[in-house]
């Protein structure tokens, strides 16, 4: 695996497919507006949707964002890992305006995948790395899926195996004079966050500060019908637990397994070109909150 070649490509303003523990990302130098524009172009991503700056460690995050005590606690507890913190911007040169969608805040995280960590350490700066899929499509959790989606736009690809988490990071805002807000549920659960930093408020208007908040997002081509127990003719059923189907997120009803399988099974179902994709009910607690959030966005139900 050629980390140095990938770091060189980033420095030259080129794109790199980068594995993380959540999903595969299409990476670019966060400070290079042209490189970031190439990411938007490759993904067909709307300009108003901000990107996450991935950094090597907590100290690197603090150089580009202003962390309060709450943010520092969260970083200490969950980094490296699937938690993104939105905080006031410290260094506008490190993460360009286009990457921040013109906001005065920056979304930052330290990914837990060793390959991502090595690349960030060698590159030496923040890297934007939204999921390496065309915008609105299911996020890739394998290298092959990432190559199939946006590989033509990447100068270098790093194969880090299947993603362990398989679901985008939880996003929390820590802004002065405001409560902590859950902007996007994910692999780090509400309960885990509140145990470290206290109560979480809902997103409200701050949702715009988070990636992945478009109404129809993470969507396959086929329409989705959620919370169903059976499928009709030419429909593909994705089951969960005892609710069987053509595919099953987790036959044992394990939400972690379901999260890891979510995007790959949406892809597999969509490949059959069904009239619709039917998804069994998913419990709303723990990781189920994030799974239901993604499914609702894929179905176009969430604003």
Q: Is 46 exposed, middle or buried (0-12, 13-18, 19+ CB in 10 A)?
A: exposed
Last residue of one domain, picked from the residues 209, 235, 263:
209
Last residue of one domain, picked from the residues 178, 209, 240:
209
Is 252 part of any domain? yes
Q: Are residues 153 and 234 in the same domain?
A: no
Is 215 part of any domain? no
Tokens (6 digits) for 93: 């040169």
Q: Is 198 exposed, middle or buried (0-12, 13-18, 19+ CB in 10 A)?
A: exposed
Other CB atoms within a 10 A radius of the CB of residue 87 amount to 25
Q: Are residues 196 and 48 in the same domain?
A: yes
Is 291 part of any domain? yes
Is 46 part of any domain? yes
pTM: 0.83
Least Cα distance to 99 among 117, 124, 125 occurs for 125
Q: Are residues 104 and 176 in the same domain?
A: yes
Last residue of one domain, picked from the residues 164, 179, 209:
209
- Residue 220: what pLDDT? 87
Tokens (6 digits) for 199: 């109560």
Q: Give me the mean pLDDT over the 122-149 stretch.
A: 94
- Residue 212: what pLDDT? 55
Q: Are residues 104 and 249 in the same domain?
A: no
**Can you give the CATH number for the domain in which 164 is found?**
3.90.870.10
Least Cα distance to 71 among 95, 104, 106, 101 occurs for 106
Is 61 part of any domain? yes
Is 99 part of any domain? yes
Is 217 part of any domain? no
Asked whether 168 and 21 are in contact (CB, 8 A), the reply is no
Q: Are residues 22 and 129 in the same domain?
A: yes
Asked whether 227 and 296 are in contact (CB, 8 A), the reply is no
Q: Are residues 205 and 228 in the same domain?
A: no
Q: Are residues 232 and 198 in the same domain?
A: no
Q: What is the pLDDT of residues 12-66, one digit of tens each?
A: 999 999 999 999 999 999 999 889 888 988 987 666 578 999 999 999 999 999 9
Domain count, the chain: 2
Q: Within the chain, what is the greatest distance between any pair of CA atoms?
A: 55
Query: In 3-state terms, what secondary structure has residue 133?
Result: coil
- Residue 299: what pLDDT? 87
Q: Give me the mean pLDDT over the 87-114 stretch.
A: 93
Is 218 part of any domain? no
Q: Is the pLDDT of residue 126 over 70?
A: yes
- Residue 238: what pLDDT? 98
Q: Are residues 237 and 285 in the same domain?
A: yes
Instruction: Locate all alpha helices (DSSP H) within the chain, ordered by sequence.
Output: 3-11, 33-43, 58-64, 69-78, 114-123, 143-150, 190-197, 255-271, 287-299
Domain that holds residue 287: 224-299
Q: Are residues 151 and 238 in the same domain?
A: no
Q: Are residues 179 and 229 in the same domain?
A: no
Position 303 confidence tier, pLDDT thresholds 50, 70, 90: very low
Q: Are residues 105 and 178 in the same domain?
A: yes
Position 135 confidence tier, pLDDT thresholds 50, 70, 90: confident
Q: Give me the mean pLDDT over the 254-261 stretch.
A: 87
Q: Are residues 175 and 252 in the same domain?
A: no
Position 208 confidence tier, pLDDT thresholds 50, 70, 90: low
244: left (phi over 0), alpha (psi -120 to 50) or beta: beta
Tokens (6 digits) for 266: 């949406």
């Amino acid at each position: 695996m050629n980390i140095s070649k990938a770091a060189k490509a980033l420095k030259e303003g080129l794109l790199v497919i980068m594995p993380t523990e959540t999903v595969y990302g299409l990476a670019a130098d966060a400070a290079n507006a042209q490189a970031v524009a190439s990411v938007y172009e490759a993904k067909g991503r709307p300009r108003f949707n901000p990107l996450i700056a991935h950094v090597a460690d907590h100290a690197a995050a603090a150089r580009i964002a202003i962390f309060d005590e709450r943010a520092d606690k969260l970083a200490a507890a969950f980094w490296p890992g699937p938690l993104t913190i939105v905080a006031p911007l410290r260094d506008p040169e490190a993460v360009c305006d286009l990457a921040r969608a013109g906001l005065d805040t920056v979304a930052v995280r330290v990914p837990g995948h060793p390959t991502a960590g090595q690349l960030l350490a060698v590159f030496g700066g923040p890297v934007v790395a939204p999921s390496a899929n065309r915008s609105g499509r299911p996020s890739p959790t394998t290298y092959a899926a990432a190559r199939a989606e946006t590989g033509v736009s990447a100068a270098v690809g790093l194969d880090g195996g299947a993603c362990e988490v398989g679901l985008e990071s939880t996003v929390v805002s820590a802004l002065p004079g405001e409560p902590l807000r859950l902007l996007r549920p994910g692999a780090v659960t509400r309960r885990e966050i509140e145990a470290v930093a206290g109560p979480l408020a809902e997103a409200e208007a701050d949702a715009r500060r988070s990636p992945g908040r478009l109404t129809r997002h993470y969507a396959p081509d086929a329409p989705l019908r959620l919370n169903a127990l059976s499928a009709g003719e030419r429909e593909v059923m994705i089951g969960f637990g005892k609710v069987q189907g053509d595919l099953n997120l987790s036959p044992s009803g394990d939400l972690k397994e379901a999260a890891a399988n979510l995007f790959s099974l949406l892809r597999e179902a969509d490949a059959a070109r069904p009239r619709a994709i039917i998804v069994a009910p998913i419990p709303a607690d723990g990781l189920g909150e994030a799974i239901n959030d993604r499914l609702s966005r894929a179905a176009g139900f969430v604003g």
